[in-house]
A and B are shown apart, each in its own frame.
Chain A
Amino acid sequence: MGTVTGPVSASILEVRDLHVRIASRRGIVRAVDGVSFDVPRGGALGLVGESGSGKSMTLRAILGVLPAEAQVTSGEIRLDGVDLRQLRGSDINRLRGPKMAMIFQEPMSALNPVTRVGWQIAEGPQVHLGLSRRRAAERALELMRRVGIPDPERRFRAYPHEFSGGMRQRVMIAIALSCDPEIILCDEPTTALDVTIQDQILRLLTQLCRESGVSLVFVTHDLPVVAQVCHDVAVMYGGQIVERGEVRDVLLDPRHPYTLGLVRSAPDFEYVRESLVPIPGSPPSLVSPPSGCRFHPRCAFAEDDCRTSQTPLRPLPGGRFTACLHYERTLEAVEADRACP
């Protein structure tokens, strides 16, 4: 472990100008295109966006578990000051588990169907913490207790298919926590659960992370979930981050027309309005993305320069960022919405 520590920084995770490309039959898909963000120690960052906006690919790139046809082409991923892209496979393996862990969307398919859940939880501690089988099993029981699985001594020997959906996701959380990671990457961990269970799982996750100071990156398309779990949020569209800032600022007072569209189309938010407004059009092709701002073909406020100019994230007052060239328009629309609910 001594070989892979770097200078101490305020952020546990720094992603700089990350690019991920996927080779497909229709051409090269630029799934993640210049994404940068920081996750402070103990902080929680939400990544939101519609399907295919590059959220999950960003997570998988950080963890180094991209599918075979996808590749990180450039950028830096610094975990605790160490650039993960410079590490060899075996060194990264030593970080997965004790430094970073992942929770998946579908706990049923992310658990090995033929292994008893207790041993699936105990495997990480055995491999990474060098615990004996017996000590690892004790640790697994303790983790099962911590994530609220009743009667862990009996459940230890059960198989994933014998568990309910919520209990499976608790097992996933126990696996993620099993080696005391510093950051947990969550890929829509509650999407497959019904809402009452979803709430329990979110509370459990945030409580456990707060207790042990674990940072979170939380990918979802569910805005209320972001508001419940995260302090900061980054909105992704077409493989890029279009707006970033504190959750309260971004979701209540958007500065990008796409964020405004997301908020207007979400069924429950404190944002006052008469009816849901869908975003017209469909997500951009990432093989040949639109020129200029990628959102311009669907944007009500688009002007000529939106079709031609590059739109990097620009800082705004209040420590937030937007990629929109004409964010004042969004501001006006938000105020208009507020004025006549």
Chain B
Amino acid sequence: MSAIEIPPGPPGPEPASEPVLVVRAEGHAASRWYRQPALVAGLVILAVVVGLALAAPLITSYNPITQNLSESLLGPSRQHLLGTDQLGRDTFTRLLYGLRLDLRIGFIAVLLPFCLGIVLGSLAGYFGGWMDTTIMRLVDVVVAFPFYVLIIALVFVLGPGERSIYLAITLVGWVAYARIIRGEILVAKRQDYVTAARSGGLSNVRIMRRHLLPNVISQGYIYAMSDIVQVILAIVTLGYLGLGIPPPTADLGSMINDGQNFLSTHWQLTTIPGLVVVVVGLGLSLTGDGLADLLRPGQ
């Protein structure tokens, strides 16, 4: 209703009907990701690394664990691109298979704490009260220990192996996700759309799953992208300390450790796997930062 009564005059045109759609905001995420040099560089590195790891059986005909003692500690050559180790295994082959294993463990070991942390963080943030207190005290307990101390202690107790690594990293890693998601939910649950969902008679579980999580989960993705670097480093560290995948399976950490004894004569045995770890970490970091910039709200 207009503020001033308009006297009945010549009938003007009907008020123009309102625009239905507003134009999509410039720079929609999907249309500008390739303009970020860091993200592109990271994605290229990752593509190469993951491609090499996946195609390992096609690239090399050697078996990563079959020993050939008559050809131990050879230098780089046509047959052995990076030489062989003390047990005569092709270093390049072991590098590819080790990369394959570490990447696989890394991705799974990020996914598990991601899921656990998001579920617990949502519960704590949404319901509050005793649930929040209990979950956040658990978080405090885990945070009170340095990351590696707790991981190494857990793996030591559980015994080396892939399952122990998953378990240890999940038990330690979920806290970061829980904290992030709890904080986001605390803010989001006061928004009108949550009140609107409640006044639509939706159950708490549905509100959390369908209305809150889709709005807050991007913060979890952003953290996961930086977390995966840390997790892969942790796996390599565990391998280096002899707490990772038991021999003879190839793993970058145990390769670095094995090569240490020959550092003065065969430096490539240790240095090349180390450099590969650096390159993988770089690729993941660049990708993570780039994605974070894209996903961060309001940009």
Contact = CB atoms under 8 A, between A and B. Distances in A.
Indicate, yes or no, whether A interacts with B.
Answer: yes
Contact of B18 (A123, A167, A175): A167
Given A127-B201, A149-B20, A110 B206 contact: no
Given A115-B211, A199-B1, A175 B200 contact: yes
Given A114-B214, A149-B20, A164-B19, A97 B1 contact: no
Contacts of B210: 115, 123
Contact of A123 (B3, B4, B25, B200): B200
A286 B14 CA distance: 46
A106 B192 contact: yes
A195 B201 contact: no
B5 A268 contact: yes
Contacts of B191: 109
Contacts of B128: 68
A96 interface: yes
B289 to A, nearest CB: 23
A158 interface: yes
A245 interface: no
Contact of A96 (B3, B5, B20, B198): B198
B166 to A, nearest CB: 31
A95, A123, A151, A222: most-surrounded residue (chain B CB, <10 A): A123
A82 interface: no
Nearest to A115: B214
B195 interface: yes
Interface in A68-104: 68, 90, 92-98, 101-102, 104
A178 B149 CA distance: 55
A101 B199 contact: yes
B21 A164 contact: yes
A195 B2 CA distance: 6
B190 interface: yes
Contacts of B21: 155, 158, 162-164
A173 interface: no
Contact of B20 (A124, A155, A172, A268): A155
B148 interface: no
A324 to B, nearest CB: 28
Interface string B83-99: 00000000000000000
B199 A164 contact: no
B116 interface: no
A151 B196 CA distance: 25
B279 interface: no
A106, A115, A151, A161: most-surrounded residue (chain B CB, <10 A): A115
Contacts of A268: 1-5
A267 B206 CA distance: 45
Given A110-B193, A112-B215, A149-B20, A267 B15 contact: no
B22 interface: yes
A196 interface: yes
Nearest to A92: B201
A191 interface: no
Contacts of B192: 104, 106, 109-110
Given A65-B198, A128-B201, A195 B211 contact: no
A287 interface: no
Interface string A156-193: 00100111111100001001000100000000000000
Interface in B200-248: 200-203, 206, 210-211, 214-215
A111 interface: yes
B197 interface: yes
B78 interface: no
Contacts of A67: 190
B296 interface: no
Contact of B200 (A101, A109, A150, A167): A101
A228 B2 CA distance: 12
Contacts of B215: 112-114
Nearest to A151: B20
A97 B2 contact: no
A206 interface: no
Interface in A131-153: 149-151
B3 A195 contact: yes
B35 interface: no
A200 B15 CA distance: 10
A36 interface: no
A237 B206 CA distance: 37
A224 interface: yes
A93 B205 CA distance: 13
B32 interface: no
Given A115-B210, A115-B211, A115-B214, A195 B1 contact: yes
A112 B211 contact: yes
Interface string B1-35: 11111000000000100111110110000000000
A162 to B, nearest CB: 5
A214 interface: no
B5, B128, B200: most-surrounded residue (chain A CB, <10 A): B200
A149 B210 CA distance: 24
Interface string A261-273: 0000001100000
Contact of B202 (A123, A163, A200): A123
22 contacts: A68-B128, A93-B201, A110-B196, A112-B215, A113-B193, A115-B210, A115-B211, A123-B200, A123-B202, A149-B20, A151-B20, A158-B21, A161-B25, A162-B22, A163-B22, A164-B21, A166-B18, A175-B200, A195-B1, A267-B3, A268-B1, A268-B2
Given A93-B202, A97-B200, 7 more contacts: A110-B195, A124-B201, A128-B201, A158-B21, A162-B24, A163-B21, A197-B18
